[in-house]
Structure 1
Amino acid sequence: MTTPFVHLRVHSEFSLVDGLIRLKPLIKAAVEQGTPALALTDEANLFALVKYYTGAQGAGLKPLIGSDLWLANPHDEEHPYRLTLLAMDATGYRNLTELISRGWVEGQRQGRALLERSWVMAQSEGLIALSGGREGDIGRHLLSDHHAEARALLDEWNAAFPGRYYLELTRTGRALEEECVHLSVDLAVETQTPVVATNDVRFLEREDFWAHETRVAIGEGKALDDPRRERHYTEEQYLKTPEEMAELFSDIPEALENSVMIAARCNVDVRLGEIFLPEYGIPEGMTQEEFFRKISHDGLTERLDFLYPAERYPRDGAEYAEIDARYRKRLDFELDIILQMGFPGYFLIVMDFIQWAKDNDVPVGPGRGSGAGSLVAYAQKITDLDPLEYDLLFERFLNPERVSMPDFDVDFCMEKRDRVIEYVAERYGRNAVSQIVTFGTMAAKAVVRDVARAQGKPYSLGDKLSKLIPFEVGMTLGKAIEDEPQLKEFLEADEEAQEIWEMALKLEGITRGTGKHAGGVVIAPTKLTDFSPLLCDEDGSGLRVQYDKNDIEDAGLVKFDFLGLRTLTIIDWAVEMVDKVRAARGEEPLNIDAIPLDDVPTFDMLKKAETTAVFQLESRGMKELIKRLLPDSLEDMIALVALFRPGPLQSGMVDDFINRKHGRAEISYPHPDYQHELLKPVLEPTYGIILYQEQVMQIAQVMAGYSLGQADMLRRAMGKKKPEEMAKQRAGFMEGCAENGIDKDLAGNIFDLVEKFAGYGFNKSHSAAYALVSYQTAWLKAHYPGPFMAAVLSTEMDNLDKVVPLIEECRSLGLTVTPPNVNVGGYKFTVDAEGRVIYGLGAIRGVGEGPIGAIVEAREAEGDFRDLFDFCRRVDPQRMNKRTLEALIRAGALDNLGPSRAVLAASLDDALKAAAQSQTNQNLGMMDMFGEAFANEPDDDAADAYADYRRVRDWSDKERLAGEKDTLGLYLTGHPIDEYEHELSRFVSTRIVDLKPSREPQRVAGLVVGFAP
């Protein structure tokens, strides 16, 4: 018979620096040991709760919820006390989540969550406390011979946790542990306080000790043999069997029995799988359904007024009546499903924050993912693409036959996205809104380097081993050794490398640290801690729930995606500049959402593949595809996004698509040998090619009579390629075709073809939404190249590798790019009245936001700067030093303030002295008769400010260009090779940028500016 014992203190890999146990092996081991329950008590977190709770319940193991916490030590800040809390019921669970959250938000020190004893005592209801053994406050006082203080503390704990406070006993071979056990037992007898045995488990098996030590050393950034590294753990801290624990505590059997009693007292029912949405305020006198239907129909009316204006489609005419009926039928169909599935609140919340964004000058994308297939979303202005116009399917987004949360991924301008999140926090409550945690793991390349460092191996060895691992997404150590023969040979030949490798295999994939989800935001109906503990950075920022994006939905919270898209920032900045150009011409501001989608100049530019900086169309491979496809409609652009992926490119689908489009191959629906007239309407937009997932669904609908919900299940099954499921789907498809009188062989052949192409199929809703953004950027480039390129350069100014080719693109477009100018623009690139692109001051090395802000403020206060003396006098010297001024001169930003950069540099010291003197005089109240602080700078417009400096030697071209290279990262007003242009032109046949595949030898010339390793 198994000795009764339950482990109540266990750290998993989610303790991040001092736990090594993976959850599935932990659950398996506990079940095999015959233990009835097990507590997971990761340090100050419940990161693993959902995974552990569902996994343990599925295996028949009772999951106990708890956490190891640190209590602030008023006597020694560096050594806080340990306390373990276990939740008994729903109240205890909420108190635990609130205490953990408070530790991070209010008590965090040096990356560790600290709780005040008073906080714990005030929220003790529903919790069981374990004293922490030799690391707890009572244990420390006992070991330091402060027995009276220990007794007083115990009285306080027993008062706060009546019958729920246990003195914890451990025997893992650590210093002073046995002494603490004896002292604790004596105190327990004296005070009638129960004791409980734990093993403070950190790894699964005894053999894992050194792997755990290595993990700890990596977390501490120290080598294993570093004499300064504290040794906190022993090889006894593994998941001992109940029999081993019984032998260890044979002299204190009640300590084992109490572990089982505690497990019996803990009965938390975590509500998983339910959905808890925040309330959206409904106008008085209306139900949620009435309001939802009304705003949807009203919104559709607005959309139809734009799509089908009354002057062209009379509202009393038959044509408009048919259009209106078609849209209303689809809308009501969607509304019925959304209401039936219980999701109107989700739509209303998304509609609310998107409308706020649009009303507050925050650019929002037209849609992303399958959400663009919803007409309700289009009517509510959540998306901006008409799903009927582009044959987008609602069931691809929300399938009534497979209940799952809708998921709108919403793109916002990167610069302004946080304003929308801030609005949501204000609207729904700051204690109900947060972002979501992510977990980083020890990946193949990094873990090898980390282990080498921890083992004290030479850096060169870890570096070489890491570099032999192929750089590929999802690469593992096991796959690396299969794919890379050199790696295998190196490991066989080097014993130290083999030691690194063996340890790295044990640590690979272990959770290493936390991060923040790129766009996920949780909005809870009540305070977040009713559902999950919180985590934050030490300064209080970066608040996030402790469940990741997969677990958060299981916990009942709904994730809303607030994604930052740089392209929307580009469009926003470009339109801002365009509006200034249009205002100067007396034109209305540009509405980028109302531009014509069949613009000839835009498609002419696209056909020439002049798509540098055009969203999604700028790569070399895409440009080659564009040259072959020659897109002439938005449908073609939608297809481009879907075609430019490895599957279609490698399958021959792309060649077939292009040949059919240009009449070089017969268009069949879908194949010359087996086609059916029912498929023509489905496949006509793609010349008979099955390109989109939505087409797979429509084929099943028209041929086999599937509902689109059933067809979505077919699409999913084809994506997973499970033989049993596919056999079942094939039978259903064949049966449906037979009922529609379709030949058996034809049905089988079409099913096979659909199955083949389903693997390549792309979500058309996503492709269409992103194609629209691509088109908008292409339209801006075709019609307003200056503002567009200035906006693109502004978003890339920190990335010189991108700025250089973008400057070249400006020149190829016939745009003049001038040096930065302190009298024009500011931090970002901009355009002047003549349409020239002015280099952004923020792109100058050594000139930050502070100096630029000072320049702009001074210019706005008193107008343009006249000369360098005027500039130095007016710009705040607290934000502008001599080094910054030198960088401005060398970059050409002060060219319009003096005759040459050499003269400006020569006069700089005197200009600074004059400015300082002027400031001093002003501070002393020494003013001239006109009320100006007098100084030695020229003040008369007619005076020559540079009379004393004009004779200095002018900078050579090389000096001037070197200054630009140092400050801007590139040559702007020329190039060092220019002086050789005449000689080179006699024997160079082409420019490097113009090189094309050719059998003829080509001669080029260039200047070496750097070496790549």
Structure 2
Amino acid sequence: MYLNCHTYYSLRFGTFSEVALLELAKENSIQALVLTDINNTSACLNFVRKAKDFNIKPIIGIDFRNDNDQLYVGIARNNEGFRELNQYLSYHSEKGIKLPEIPTVIFNHCYVIYPFEKVLQLEKTEFKPYEFIGVSVEELRKLRFSKLLSYKNKLVIQQQVTIRNKRDFNAHRLLRSIDKNCLLSKLDTSEECLITDKMYPLETLKETFMDFKFILANTQHILDTCTIDFSFGNHRISQNLKLYTNTFNEDYELLERLCYQNLKKRYSNPSPRVIKRLKTELHTIKTLDFVSFFLINYDIVSYAKSKGYFHVGRGSGANSIVAYIIGITDVDPIELDLYFERFINPFRASPPDFDIDFSWKDRDDVTAYIFKRFKHTALMATYNTFKYRAVVRELGKVFGLPKEEIDKLSKGNYTLSNLDDISKLVLRYGKLIEGFPNYLSVHSAGIIILEKPVHYYSATDLPPKGFPTVQFDMIIAEDVGIFKFDILGQRGLAKIKEALEIIKTNRPEAQDIDITNVEAFKADKNINQLLKSGGAIGAYYVESPAMRGLMQQLQTDNYLGLVAASSIIRPGVSSSGMKDEYIRRHCNPEKRKDAHPILMQIMPETYGVMVYQEDVLKVANQFADLTLGEADILRRGMSGKYRSRKEFLEVEQKFISNCRNKGFNDDLIFEVWNQIKSFAGYAFAKGHSASYAVESYQSLFLKCYYPLEFMTAVLNNGGGFYSAEHYLHEAKKQGAKICLPCINKSDHPNRLIGKSIYLGFGYLKNLETYNVQKIITERQLHGNYKSLDDFIDRIAISIEQLTILIRINAFRFTQKHKTELLWQAIFKLNAMGTKSQQAPLFKIQHKQFKLPKLKTNWIENAYDEMELLGFPLCNYFNLVNEQMIDGILAKDMKDYVEKKVVIYGSLVTTRFNKTVQGKLMRLSTFIDKKGNYFDAVHFSGVVDQYPINGLGVYACYGTIKDRFGFYSMVVVSSKKMAILPDPRNATESVHKTVNRIS
């Protein structure tokens, strides 16, 4: 009897979830229910999925509104009707067109219900067969005296359900105030629902409408004639594009042909093991109907290769020899002994994950190709929910609290007993609204390619990316049998591609580089030495302090070691203690005997320690005798995508029971099980780690043999873990000369000429992009600028913008000091007055001004660089204005283990973390006077007492620790060193610069 129900996916309007709606219906003896969120279908699929658990017939539709003006409610009679409604809403949503007061299309599979008041307002007298008039409990008394009473076959119950009780109503009003960005006291009642917009018990509703039995009958007719089905759960079927060619047999023959055509490219002399693995995979892919999934991924990668785009294929699909042979991935599953059942097995209902990375510059073109190539395509959505601190701030504004009070509440700086009633309300409703969906966004990578039109499943929006986006997330998608294709963008591939382009320009003598020759890179001792020594700054995935430190601890000098390191650094492995145990057994072979014999037999390569997701499946299968189907439940649980804990808990009990039956003691059983649980949502598949390692080796090759070209490319693609300033420091260590922007040699990005890196104009944040474009275009068309006068003649520019270029010494080719040039620029531009944008017909004769000799020094330049670039080109140690007592260098740390020492360090990066006890700590990386790295830890006792306030040199006093041969400092105290004042205005400049560096 309820044809107009909302959930909190009626964004900033509804007050509970789709599951809570079903629970409410169950409590009120409702057997059929229509979900109609406002201009949104996000909850529809899960509503249908969960309804069977409550023995309720699900029906879905859309509440069509312009702002809060309810126009009509559309109800789908069947799946085709849902498509009609979605298509209608999407047309208006994507084009930004207001919905008409009466639909402009004919619905063949839907019912349309106009609210009672809207019909009166429109004076609508004619109704199509599928159109009805909705009457609420509140409106029933008006109906008795209305001319609409004569439309007996058109009247139905439209009792809107938005709230359950007074608390929900209060939350609803707060959500509406947040949505309208107004004080609660200023919220117009037209923006609210009614306090009566709730669900009544079925018998109560029937009694209310007892005098209008024809209304009850009409409503029941709608409920009886609607049905929707998506074949969920164990009965789901794949909704992805089923055929790549014309028939399934053609698809399989194509996949098989591609494999055997490309086999020799990957294996010059294929062994029986390779052939057997290939045949097994092809058979399984065919049996599970994943053929088109592989061919679509192959198509996407083939397009990218045809355009010269680099890619990395990773995810669980990297365990596949089929994917390796046809070029989706570059990871050899035979070399790495990758576990086939992690990739795919007869119990797996979903295809494997193929996360395909492209350069951030190429990804949009690849996405556009997919939309052009495949007919029924959309981007996946994700829900951005209200976070507690953010919603407390919003509610504080709604209640009109002062900023200081809002800050105090959102940061938790209060004692509950000292708060007034309004503040307590903010906190109470903040907890209630926390987790509600706030708005829909685009999934970072997911694209869906369907057999049927997208609107069979969802309405679509058109976000700034310009591609239609569905209104459900990946978890809902998998439930209904829609499996996404992950197309990601990353900067690591862009760095590799641009480095190769710079090499061609800067070192034409270099032979053509085959960046795909990873096998040669793996065997190169010089490249492996970079890993072992922590010299991987700039290389994708291996440059962070934690990763470099780990590789120094492990003395990683080979591909397999890097694959393991890529996985054990993940939070699941690290937090469970398996990371330390792996390092201990790796560094001390005698410790390997501590492993349980069965675990050692299962995982000899990792010394009996679970490192990869495959290890969990192997342990579940071989240690606990779980079936592959049961092990697959563990896999889904570890992926972070798992929706229900019920099956997972059943597998846990089976794991424990089986182990006890095998005679294992509980200490061992629960130790192993707790390690398995720690993997949830974090651990990598081995093939995934291996894919990352391939790209790392490509970066390391360039860093090793073409370091300046590589570092320039790193800088031009947004860097990575560190700041631009630090990558410039690394480039200096590799022999580069860092040059300030130059009018005649710089471009918008950095430019390498020989061994000189000319900083790009892009670093000058206050220099307008339009001026940069003019400067470069004019130079390309008419040659270098000969003087300041020549520049002023050719470029129309304000004195403020020209001052930036002069102060950064971009005119140093003139051999004149910048102070003199500044005065000359002021005189000349003032003398010229307003300059036309059009080039002059005749060259202007500039008046020459004679200036006295002006004194300057290098400290002034450093201050200008800090202001304009954000950092100085000189070493921070040169700017220190305090006496530095004797301290040690980073290379000496090994001689002072467990001793307290001082090291002076220039800050590279710092970040907060939490201890096992949940206390705050700080991890920092510095470089010493000689440019060598050292790491320092501020534990909770000193993290607040000795803060790190921005870039600069710090005197770090603490104890040296040795962790598997990697040395770091536990800070006891630290102090930021004062710097030299700006001689142009010492007192003021010290203050400004300290703030600037901070």
Q: TM-score surpassing 0.5?
A: yes
| Equivalent position amino acid for 1:935 in 2 | K
Q: Could you tell me which residue of structure 1 aligns to residue 922 of structure 2?
A: none
1:29 is the counterpart of 2:24: yes
Distance in 1 of aligned mates of 2:695 and 2:838: 57
Shift of 1:517: 0.6
TM-score by length of 2: 0.82
| Equivalent position amino acid for 1:67 in 2 | I
Distance in 1 of aligned mates of 2:870 and 2:351: 49
1:824 is the counterpart of 2:819: no
Distance in 1 of aligned mates of 2:839 and 2:635: 77
Q: Could you tell me which residue of structure 2 aligns to residue 278 of structure 1?
A: 241
Q: Could you tell me which residue of structure 1 aligns to residue 308 of structure 2?
A: 361
Asked if the contact 2:626–2:655 (Cα under 8 Å) also holds between the matched residues in 1, the reply is no
Shift of 1:375: 0.6
Shift of 1:492: 6.2
Please list, as runs of the form range in 1=range in 2, the aligned pairs for 1:859-870 lying within 5 A after superposition.
859-870=779-790
Say which is worse superposed, 912-921 or 494-503, in terms of deviation. Answer: 912-921
1:686 is the counterpart of 2:606: yes
Please list, as runs of the form range in 1=range in 2, the aligned pairs for 1:964-975 lying within 5 A after superposition.
964-973=865-874
Distance 1:1004-1:854 versus aligned 2 partners, 3 A rule: closer
Please list, as runs of the form range in 1=range in 2, the aligned pairs for 1:894-913 lying within 5 A after superposition.
894-897=811-814, 899-909=816-826
Say which is worse superposed, 641-650 or 959-968, in terms of deviation. Answer: 641-650
Question: Which structure is larger by alpha-carbon Rg, 1 or 2?
Answer: 1
Q: Could you tell me which residue of structure 2 aligns to residue 853 of structure 1?
A: 773
Q: Could you tell me which residue of structure 2 aligns to residue 165 of structure 1?
A: 131
Q: Could you tell me which residue of structure 2 aligns to residue 87 of structure 1?
A: 76
Distance in 1 of aligned mates of 2:308 and 2:473: 31
Distance 1:725-1:658 versus aligned 2 partners, 3 A rule: closer
Distance in 2 of aligned mates of 1:125 and 1:216: 35
Distance 1:886-1:83 versus aligned 2 partners, 3 A rule: same
| Equivalent position amino acid for 1:83 in 2 | Y
Structure 1 residues 554-599: Cα deviation after superposition (integer angstroms, max 9, x where no partner): 344331111122222222222322332342x242245255451122
Distance in 2 of aligned mates of 1:908 and 1:687: 70
1:326 is the counterpart of 2:273: yes
2:810 to 888, 893, 897: 893
Shift of 1:289: 1.5
Please list, as runs of the form range in 1=range in 2, the aligned pairs for 1:574-585 lying within 5 A after superposition.
574-583=499-508, 585=509
Q: Could you tell me which residue of structure 2 aligns to residue 186 of structure 1?
A: 147
Asked if the contact 1:815–1:836 (Cα under 8 Å) also holds between the matched residues in 2, the reply is yes
Distance 1:277-1:300 versus aligned 2 partners, 3 A rule: same
Distance in 1 of aligned mates of 2:851 and 2:242: 73
1:658 is the counterpart of 2:569: no
Distance in 2 of aligned mates of 1:251 and 1:709: 57
Distance 1:220-1:1012 versus aligned 2 partners, 3 A rule: farther
Asked if the contact 1:84–1:130 (Cα under 8 Å) also holds between the matched residues in 2, the reply is yes
1:588 to 512, 523, 536: 512
Shift of 1:415: 1.8
Distance in 1 of aligned mates of 2:855 and 2:190: 64
SS in 2 for 1:781: helix
1:240 to 200, 211, 223: 200
Q: Could you tell me which residue of structure 1 aligns to residue 112 of structure 2?
A: 129
Q: Could you tell me which residue of structure 1 aligns to residue 892 of structure 2?
A: none
Shift of 1:290: 1.3
| Equivalent position amino acid for 2:865 in 1 | E
2:440 to 505, 511, 514: 514
Distance in 2 of aligned mates of 1:745 and 1:59: 42
1:534 to 455, 460, 465: 460
Gaps (5+ residues) in structure 1? 1-5, 72-77, 109-113, 142-149, 306-319, 469-485, 736-743, 924-932, 939-945
Gaps (5+ residues) in structure 2? 640-644, 889-902, 906-926, 929-955, 961-971, 980-992
Shift of 1:369: 2.2
Please list, as runs of the form range in 1=range in 2, the aligned pairs for 1:47-446 lying within 5 A after superposition.
47-70=42-65, 82-108=71-97, 114-116=98-100, 120-134=103-117, 136=118, 138-141=119-122, 150=123, 153-155=124-126, 158=127, 161-162=128-129, 164-172=130-138, 181=143, 185-189=146-150, 194-226=154-186, 230=190, 232-246=192-206, 248-249=208-209, 251-272=211-232, 273-278=236-241, 281-282=244-245, 287-305=250-268, 320=269, 323-365=270-312, 367-429=313-375, 432-446=376-390
SS in 2 for 1:139: helix
Distance 1:624-1:329 versus aligned 2 partners, 3 A rule: same
Shift of 1:620: 3.1
Distance in 1 of aligned mates of 2:63 and 2:322: 48
Q: Could you tell me which residue of structure 1 aligns to residue 843 of structure 2?
A: 935
1:962 is the counterpart of 2:880: no
Distance in 2 of aligned mates of 1:116 and 1:1002: 66
Distance 1:398-1:61 versus aligned 2 partners, 3 A rule: same
Q: Could you tell me which residue of structure 1 aligns to residue 951 of structure 2?
A: none
**RMSD across aligned positions (CA):** 3.7
Asked if the contact 2:176–2:191 (Cα under 8 Å) also holds between the matched residues in 1, the reply is no
Distance in 2 of aligned mates of 1:870 and 1:724: 80
Distance in 1 of aligned mates of 2:638 and 2:136: 55
Structure 1 residues 395-436: Cα deviation after superposition (integer angstroms, max 9, x where no partner): 11212223223221111111221110001111113xx22212
Q: Could you tell me which residue of structure 1 aligns to residue 703 of structure 2?
A: 781
Please list, as runs of the form range in 1=range in 2, the aligned pairs for 1:913-928 lying within 5 A after superposition.
none
| Equivalent position amino acid for 1:971 in 2 | P
2:524 to 593, 596, 599: 599
1:628 to 539, 553, 559: 553
1:570 is the counterpart of 2:495: yes
| Equivalent position amino acid for 2:802 in 1 | L
Please list, as runs of the form range in 1=range in 2, the aligned pairs for 1:794-813 lying within 5 A after superposition.
794-796=716-718, 802-813=723-734
Shift of 1:42: 0.9
Distance in 2 of aligned mates of 1:407 and 1:326: 24
The count of aligned residue pairs is: 898
Q: Could you tell me which residue of structure 1 aligns to residue 676 of structure 2?
A: 758
Shift of 1:45: 1.7
Asked if the contact 1:199–1:238 (Cα under 8 Å) also holds between the matched residues in 2, the reply is yes
Shift of 1:331: 0.8
Asked if the contact 1:914–1:935 (Cα under 8 Å) also holds between the matched residues in 2, the reply is no
SS in 2 for 1:406: coil
Distance in 1 of aligned mates of 2:827 and 2:869: 26
| Equivalent position amino acid for 1:52 in 2 | F
Asked if the contact 1:700–1:733 (Cα under 8 Å) also holds between the matched residues in 2, the reply is no
Distance in 1 of aligned mates of 2:258 and 2:729: 49
| Equivalent position amino acid for 2:512 in 1 | E
Distance 1:491-1:885 versus aligned 2 partners, 3 A rule: farther
SS in 2 for 1:396: helix
1:504 to 423, 427, 430: 430
Q: Could you tell me which residue of structure 2 aligns to residue 837 of structure 1?
A: 757
Distance in 2 of aligned mates of 1:327 and 1:605: 33
Structure 1 residues 940-972: Cα deviation after superposition (integer angstroms, max 9, x where no partner): xxxxxx964664635544443332222111112
Asked if the contact 2:521–2:698 (Cα under 8 Å) also holds between the matched residues in 1, the reply is no
Shift of 1:373: 0.6
Distance in 2 of aligned mates of 1:813 and 1:131: 73
| Equivalent position amino acid for 2:426 in 1 | I
SS in 2 for 1:166: strand
Distance 1:280-1:899 versus aligned 2 partners, 3 A rule: farther
Structure 1 residues 959-1003: Cα deviation after superposition (integer angstroms, max 9, x where no partner): 43332222111112576x74767x846777753233585489999
